């Protein structure tokens, strides 16, 4: 006699991604595994006295969302920081900062996040003096939405020890004023890391992003307990959006340890993969840490096995690496974080160890250099099922499109990064991108048509971790002026790229990403049937219940 299910879901519109049973209305779960998929009457009959019953009430039931590009610790910390996403102009910034300061009298660093590059107005560069006029007696820092630039006031720069400049790693910059002092703008992690250490978290939330190292000196028991609760708050926030899995894009042993402690305590609501972050300043011997992470952390809830690298910066600060100079900047190709030789050798060594690679590459020059590194690894080690990834690909040269599929490279894309997603304004032709480049910017359809594998994610906290906002951004797409292209995605393809396909990318397609007997019971239940509502209402659709490993992590 079959065991009584722990939980059954009835009256749903199931999107299974299983060719054997593409559509159904109910499923049953036992011991964290899906044990039956079928119609409501059949599944209802399996219920026993102890079975929990969830009525999906006609809503879409699908594999849980897997957000394949997030910065968990930083995103979790930012939930308690000043959100400047809708703040425009000096008056609005003044009101927001002073109000936040009054509400947080003991915060050692007043941190605003999601700040626009032109938060003070079109064409206005934010300086330390601008921030001093708002608040001069307490350290203030504003983080750009893309997390590649920080603006700080004078006292923050003084306390960080960089008011008069400092030596920073290649690719980072303390922008200097004519008087020999810091202007206030800090580009990339090597420049703004010292300012972040002034916060209540001591910069521990971004260590995996800034250095990839652990806290030094080591976090105290009190700090570890505090940090763990911050991370848990972020995980619960993700679960509220139907997310059952995360691929972190920064990492260190510290995050892996805190997540493993939450798992041991029975409090971890989401599965998380954490990579080893290899910096351009690191010896390649550091890759042994990636191997140690893979060996030490092997549960279904917390694991590693991946190396993250950065190849360039971002378009807005002209630090994305380009093949041709930026318009109006004949001497600027952006910044290459790794030299070609260093990157190629890193790829060869990591690939030889059987590790997966994910590399931030935004400009077409960075994409080409990343492809060159992956090709060097394949030539040196032979072809294997590596599923190496390129993160972002905001601009690609047409000659490199066929190389993605040719090298079996995954295009890891973020719909809300594109101006078509509705959060950010399009670049006018001739500003950052030329009219010839724009058709190959955020070129989701061209990448799909090339035969390359695609996955979707958010890059939280660069954009909100709201899954349905991202789904709407991919499906609806704001109409942009020529020469921008129409990159609208189908709803089914978008949901697949945000769940089923991301299970494949993490080598778990045999047990995750489908509603199928024998698969992990990681499930999202929406309040509505996504295929029955108007597409312009997708962003308003909400998650009713999230289930991870057969346990309800959000909802009831």
What is the percent of the chain where pLDDT is above 70? 100
CATH classification code of 108-199: 3.10.310.70
pLDDT in tens, 447-467: 999 999 999 999 999 999 999
Residue 236, SS3 per DSSP: helix
What are the helix (H) ranges across 28-125? 40-44, 72-78, 90-103
Cβ partners under 8 Å of residue 110, min gap 6: 82, 97, 100, 101, 104, 135, 138, 139, 140, 141
Residue ranges per domain, the chain? Answer: 7-64+517-554, 108-199, 311-489
The token pair at 448 is: 């799909």
Identify whether the C-beta of residue 93 lies closer than 8 Å to the C-beta of residue 134: yes
Beta strands in 266-392 (DSSP E): 271-273, 276-277, 302-303, 306-310, 356-361, 389-392
pLDDT in tens, 360-401: 999 999 999 999 999 999 999 999 999 999 999 999 999 999
User: Scanning the structure block, which residue is given the tokens 């000096």?
Assistant: 90
Mean pLDDT (the chain) is 96
Q: Answer whether residue 2 shows pLDDT above 80.
A: no
Q: Write the DSSP assignment of 147-198 as a string of letters.
A: SSEEEE-HHHHHHHT-TT-----TT-EEEEPTTSSEEEEEESHHHHHHHHTT
pLDDT in tens, 22-59: 989 999 999 999 999 999 999 999 999 999 999 999 99
Q: Answer whether residue 70 shows pLDDT above 60.
A: yes
Fold of 7-64+517-554: Urease, subunit C; domain 1 (2.30.40)
CATH classification code of 311-489: 3.20.20.140
User: Scanning the structure block, which residue is given the tokens 């609760």?
Assistant: 229
User: Once rounded to an integer, what is the mean pLDDT over residues 286-290?
Assistant: 98
Q: From CA 175, how far away is CA 192, in angstroms rounded?
A: 11
Q: In this predicted structure, what is the pLDDT of residue 433?
A: 97
Residue 556 pLDDT class (50, 70, 90 cuts)? confident
Q: From CA 515, how far away is CA 16, in angstroms rounded?
A: 5
Residue 60, SS3 per DSSP: strand
Torsional sign, CA 215, 221, 225, 226: negative
Residue 87, SS3 per DSSP: coil
CB-neighbour burial class of residue 214 (10 A; exposed 0-12, middle 13-18, buried 19+): middle
Q: From CA 308, how far away is CA 359, in angstroms rounded?
A: 6
* pTM to 2 decimal places: 0.93
pLDDT in tens, 130-146: 999 999 999 999 999 88
Residue 1 pLDDT class (50, 70, 90 cuts)? very low
User: Scanning the structure block, which residue is given the tokens 């945000």?
Assistant: 498
User: Scanning the structure block, which residue is given the tokens 């991919």?
Assistant: 474
Identify whether the C-beta of residue 467 lies closer than 8 Å to the C-beta of residue 67: yes
Beta strands in 109-148 (DSSP E): 110-115, 140-144
């Amino acid at each position: 006699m079959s065991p009584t299910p722990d939980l059954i879901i009835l009256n749903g519109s199931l999107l299974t991604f299983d060719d054997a049973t593409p559509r159904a209305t109910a499923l049953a779960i036992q011991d964290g595994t899906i044990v039956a998929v079928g119609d409501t009457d059949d599944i209802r009959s399996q219920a026993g006295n102890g079975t929990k019953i969830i009525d999906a009430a006609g809503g879409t039931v699908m594999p849980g969302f897997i957000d394949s590009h997030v910065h968990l610790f930083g995103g979790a910390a930012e939930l308690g920081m000043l959100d400047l996403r809708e703040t425009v102009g000096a008056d609005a910034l003044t009101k927001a900062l002073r109000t936040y300061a009054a509400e947080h009298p003991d915060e050692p660093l007043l941190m605003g996040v999601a700040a626009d590059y032109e938060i003070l107005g079109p064409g206005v560069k934010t300086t330390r003096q601008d921030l001093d006029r708002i608040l001069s007696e307490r350290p203030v820092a504003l983080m750009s939405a893309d997390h590649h630039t920080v603006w700080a006031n004078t006292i923050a720069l003084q306390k960080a020890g960089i008011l008069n400049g400092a030596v920073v790693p290649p690719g980072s910059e303390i922008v200097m004023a004519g008087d020999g002092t810091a202007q206030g703008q800090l580009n990339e992690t090597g420049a703004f890391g010292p300012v972040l250490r002034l916060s209540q978290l001591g910069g521990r939330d971004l260590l995996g992003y800034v250095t990839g190292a652990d806290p030094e000196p080591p976090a105290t028991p009190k700090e570890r307990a505090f940090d763990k609760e911050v991370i848990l708050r972020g995980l619960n926030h993700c679960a509220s959006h139907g997310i059952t899995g995360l691929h972190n894009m920064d990492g260190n042993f510290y995050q892996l340890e805190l997540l493993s402690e939450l798992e041991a305590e029975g409090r971890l609501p989401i599965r998380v993969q954490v990579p080893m972050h290899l910096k351009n300043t690191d010896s390649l011997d550091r890759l042994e840490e990636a191997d140690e992470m893979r060996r030490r952390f092997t549960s279904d809830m917390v694991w590693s096995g991946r190396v993250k690298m950065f190849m360039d910066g971002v378009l807005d600060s002209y630090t994305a690496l380009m093949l041709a100079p930026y318009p109006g900047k004949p001497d600027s190709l952006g910044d290459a974080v790794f030299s070609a030789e260093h990157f190629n050798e890193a790829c060869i060594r990591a690939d030889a160890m059987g590790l997966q690679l994910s590399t931030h590459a935004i400009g077409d020059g960075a994409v080409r250099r990343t492809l060159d590194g992956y090709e060097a690894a394949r030539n040196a080690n032979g072809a294997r099922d590596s599923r190496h990834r390129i993160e972002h690909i905001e601009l690609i040269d047409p000659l490199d499109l066929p190389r993605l599929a040719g090298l079996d490279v995954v295009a890891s894309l973020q719909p809300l990064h594109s101006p078509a997603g509705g959060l950010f304004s399009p670049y006018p032709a001739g500003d950052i991108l030329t009219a010839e480049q724009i058709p190959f910017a955020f070129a989701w359809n061209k990448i799909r048509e090339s035969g390359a594998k695609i996955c979707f994610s958010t890059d939280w906290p660069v954009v909100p971790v709201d899954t349905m906002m991202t789904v709407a951004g991919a499906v609806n797409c704001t109409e942009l002026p020529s020469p921008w292209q129409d990159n609208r995605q189908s709803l089914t393809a978008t949901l697949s790229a945000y769940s089923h396909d991301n299970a494949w990318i993490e080598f778990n397609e045999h047990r995750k990403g489908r509603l199928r007997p024998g698969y992990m019971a990681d499930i999202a239940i929406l309040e509505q049937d996504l295929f029955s509502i108007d597409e312009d209402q997708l962003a308003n659709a909400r998650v009713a219940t999230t289930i991870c490993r057969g346990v309800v992590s959000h909802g009831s």
